[in-house]
Amino acid sequence: MNATLPQTNTSEIPAPPRRLLTYFEEGGHTLGSWLLTTDHKRIGILYLYSIVFFFTIAAIAAALMRMELVTPSGDMVTSETYNKLFTIHGATMVWFFLIPSIPSVLGNFVVPLMIGARDLAFPRLNLLSWYLFNLGGLLAIYSIAFGGVDTGWTFYEPYSSAFSNTHVVTMVAGIFIAGFSSILTGLNFIVSIHTLRAPGMTWFKLPLFLWSTYATSIILVLATPVLAMTLVLVAAEKIWGVGIFDPRLGGDPVLFQHMFWFYSHPAVYIMILPGMGVVSEVIPCFSRKPIFGYHFVAFSSVAIALLGFFVWGHHMFVSSQSVYSALVFSMASYLVAVPSAIKVFNWTMTLYRGRIYLDTPMLYALGFIGLFMMGGLTGLFLAALGFNVHVHGTYFVVAHFHYIMVGGMVTGFLAGLHYWWPKITGRLYPESLGRLAALIIFIGFNITFFPQYVVGYLGMPRRYHAYAPEFQLYNVMSSAGASILGVGYLLPLIYLIWSLKHGKKAPPNPWKATGLEWQTPSPPPKHNFAQTPIVTQEPYQYSPEIEEELVHG
C-alpha cells in the first residue's frame, strides 16, 4: 500500500544476540509476580484462567438443562431451578466468557506482539481491567451461589425489578463492574493500535485480526456504557421504586428492551468479530496464500461494527413497536449481513490455488466458516419480518445464536488458541488429538443445535422447563449431541494442560507464518522483541508454490 517503502524482504528482525529470558522466567514464578504483573502476556493468561472457570460453571448449567429437557415433563429439577439454570448459563456465557474470550485472552497476548510493541499503551489499566472483571465475576458467582437469579440474561422489565425475588441487584452490579473491564480493554486496544505500531506498519499493513480487534473495541467503548446505564436504572427501580420501566410506576417496559438491545445487539458483534479476525489469520497461513480482498475483509469488520448499532429493534418485532420502525430495523439487519457474506466469500477464495495444510487451527477455522454460514443464513430468516413473527422467542432463535456464538466464536477461539498456543506456552500440542477434538466438536455441535432449528419452527418456545410431547425427539437428539460436544471440549482442556509439561518445545515460528508475533522466540521475552521490528511488507506474503515443513506436536 505504501509505495515508498521497498517490498523486498520480510520484516528485518536481527537475530537476538543471546537467549533472552522468556516472560515466564523473567520476574519469577511467585504468585505476586502474576497478580501484580503489568505484562500483557501474563494478563492474557490470567484472563484465560478466569474465563475457563466461568465457562465451566456455565457449561455445567447447560448440561443440567439438557438433562432436564430429555423428557417433556419438568421432572428433574423444579421450574425455579430450571429458570435459574438458564439465567446462569446465559449471563455467565455472555459476560464472563464470550465477551472476554478472544479479545481479553488472545487479544491481550497477541495485539502488542502483532504491532511490534513492548506492551499495550496502558499496562496498569490492563491489570485493573482483569481485577474489575473478576470482581464482577465474584458478584455474579455470589448471586448464583446464594440463591441464584431467575430473570434470564436479558433482565426483561417489569419482571426483573418488580416481580423477581432473586439476587437481581447483585447480578446486575457484577455485570456493571465487569462492563468497566470491557471498556478499559477496548480503550487500551484502540490507543495501542493507533500509537504503538512498529515503524512502517501502516493501517493497511495491519494483520486482519487487528482490524477486527479494533472494530470490536469501538463497540466495547461505545455500547457498554449504555448497558451500564440500563442496569443502574433497573437497580434504581428495584431498590428505590423509581418509575422507569414498570408501568405501575408510570414507566415503559418496552423502553427497557430498546436500551438493553442497543447494547446487546452490538455486543453480539463483540462475540463474533474477534472470531472472524482469528479466521482471517489462520486461513492465509494454512493455505499459504495472501488473503483475497484484504481491504474488503478489513472494512467489512468496521462496517459490521458501525451497522451493528442500528439493528437493535430486530429483537423487538413482536414487542408492540411500530410496524414502520420494524421495517427500518429489518432492512438494516439485511444490510449488516452483507459484510459478513463478503468475509465468507473472501476466505473461500483465498483457498483457491493455495497449498492447504489441514492442521488443527485450520480445521477449526473451516469449521468456523461452515457453522457461521449456517448461523448467518438463519439470521436472514429471522430478519424477514413475517417469518420472525412465527419463530421469535422459539428454539429457532436459540439455534441461530448458538451457531454464531458457539459454532462461530468458540470455534474461532479454539482456532486462535491452537494457532498461538506454541507462542503463548513455548510448547506444541499433540496434533492428532487436536484434529480429533476439532472433528468431535464439529459433529457434536451440529447434533446439538441443528435439531433446535426444527423444533423452533415447530413452535417450541425457549425457556420452557416442560414442553409438549411432540417436541421430544428433537430434544433427545439435542441432549445426545451436547454430551458429544462436552467430550469435544474436555479433550483440548486435557491435552493442552498435558502439553505444558510434556509437549514438544516449539520453535519461534512453527507454522512459518508471516506476522510479527512469529519473529520473536516462543515464548516471547518479557519485552517481546530484542529490537523494535521494522515493517516493510504487506501482511500475508505467503507463496503457495513453496512447500513448507510445518512443525507439529
Partner 1 sequence: MTFPILPEQASKVAEQTDNLYWGLLCISAAVCLIVFVPMACFLFKYRNGKPADRTPLHLPELKIELTWTLVPLLIFMCFYVWGAQNYFQVERPPPNALNIDVVGKQWMWKVQHPEGNREIDELHVPLGRMVKLTMTSEDVIHDLYLPAFRIKQDVVPGRYTTEWFKAAKLGSYHLFCSEYCGTSHSLMVGHVIVLTPAEYQAWLTKGQPGSTLAQSGENLFRELGCSGCHVGKSVVRAPPLEGLFGKPVPLSDREVVTADEGYLRDSILYPAKQIVAGYTNDMPSFRGKVSEEELLQIIAYIKSLGSQTPVREQ
| Site for partner 1, residues 332 to 361, rule: CB under 8 A | 334-335, 337-338, 341-342, 344-346, 348-349, 351-358
Q: Which stretch binds partner 1 (CB under 8 A): 109-117, 329-337, 435-443, 510-518?
A: 329-337
Q: Should residue 464 be labelled a site residue for partner 1 when binding is judged by CB under 8 A? A: yes
Question: Is 476 an interacting residue with respect to partner 1 (CB under 8 A)?
Answer: yes
Look up residue 546 and give its three cell numbers.
513453496
Question: Which letter does DSSP use for residue 151 in this model?
Answer: S
Q: How far is the CB of 257 from partner 1 (least distance, A)?
A: 9
When the beta carbons of 530 and 550 are compared against partner 1, the nearer one is 550
Residue 426 backbone class (left: φ over 0; alpha: ψ -120 to 50; beta: rest): left
Q: What is the DSSP string of 326-347?
A: HHHHHHHHHHHHHHHHHHHHHH
Using the rule CB under 8 A, give the single segment among 213-221, 307-315, 431-439, 454-462 that binds partner 1.
454-462
One of 205, 314, 423, 465 touching partner 1 (CB under 8 A):
465
Contacts (CB under 8 A) with partner 1, residues 383-422: 383-390, 392-394
Return the C-alpha cell found at 41. Answer: 502476556
What amino acid occupies position 107?
G
Q: Which SS3 state, helix, strand or coil, does residue 242 take?
A: coil
Q: Does 237 bind partner 1 (CB under 8 A)?
A: no
Distance of CA 535 to the CA centre of its chain: 29
Per CB under 8 A, 70 contacts partner 1: no
Q: Any idea what the Cα angle at residue 185 is, between residues 180 and 189, rounded to 5°? A: 150
Please answer whether residues 472 and 516 qualify as being in contact, where contact means their C-beta atoms are separated by less than 8 angstroms.
no
According to CB under 8 A, which residues from 106 to 165 bind partner 1? Answer: 150, 152, 154, 156-159, 162-164
Minimum CB distance to partner 1, residue 27 (Å): 40
Site size for partner 1 (CB under 8 A): 91
Is 531 a binding residue for partner 1 by CB under 8 A? The answer is no
How would DSSP label each residue in 477-493? Answer: HHHHHHHHHHHHHHHHH
Q: Does 77 bind partner 1 (CB under 8 A)?
A: no
Nearer Cβ to partner 1 (137/376): 376
Binding status of residue 258 toward partner 1 by CB under 8 A: no
Which one of 252, 255, 507, 537 is in contact with partner 1 (CB under 8 A)?
252
Q: Is 512 left (phi over 0), alpha (psi -120 to 50) or beta?
A: left
CA within 13 Å, CB half, 400: 21
The one-character DSSP state at 357 is -
Question: Taking CB under 8 A as the rule, does residue 470 contact partner 1?
Answer: yes
Residue 243 touches partner 1, criterion: CB under 8 A: no
CB of 254 to partner 1, least distance (A): 7
Q: How far apart are CA 395 and CA 463, in angstroms?
A: 9
C-beta closer to partner 1: residue 70 or 191: 70
Contact flag: residue 76 with partner 1 (CB under 8 A): no
We find the least distance from the C-beta atom of residue 548 to partner 1, in angstroms, to be: 8
Least Å from the CB of residue 457 to partner 1: 7
Q: Which of 453, 448, 450 is nearest to 396 (CA)?
A: 453
Binder among 27, 123, 200, 370 for partner 1 (CB under 8 A)? 370
Residue linked to cell 468475509: 343
Q: From the list 94, 282, 369, 438, which residue makes contact with partner 1 (rule: CB under 8 A)?
A: 369
Q: 494-508: b or e for each residue (b if 16 or more CB lie within 10 Å)?
A: ebbeebeeebbebeb
**What is the contact mask toward partner 1 in residues 487 to 526, using x (rule: CB under 8 A)?**
----------------------------------------
C-alpha cell at 454: 426444527
Which CB sits closer to partner 1, 83 or 170?
83
CA dihedral 44, 539, 299, 378 (to 10 degrees): -70
* Sequence-ordered strand ranges (E) for 400-507: none
If residue 203 lies in a helix (H) or strand (E), which one and from where to where?
A: none
Structure-block grid coordinates of residue 166: 432473586
Would you give the binding string for partner 1 spanning residues 274-293, x where CB under 8 A is met? -------------x-x--xx
Three-class SS state of 117: coil
DSSP string, 25-46: TTT-SSHHHHHT---HHHHHHH
Stretch of 28-36, 74-82, 409-417, 434-442 lying at the interface with partner 1 (CB under 8 A):
74-82
**Residue 172 CB, nearest approach to partner 1 (Å):** 17
Q: How far is the CB of 213 from partner 1 (least distance, A)?
A: 23
Q: Binding residue for partner 1 (CB under 8 A) from 366, 414, 433, 438?
A: 366
Give the 3-state secondary structure of residue 460.
coil
Minimum distance between the CB of residue 296 and partner 1, rounded to whole angstroms? 5
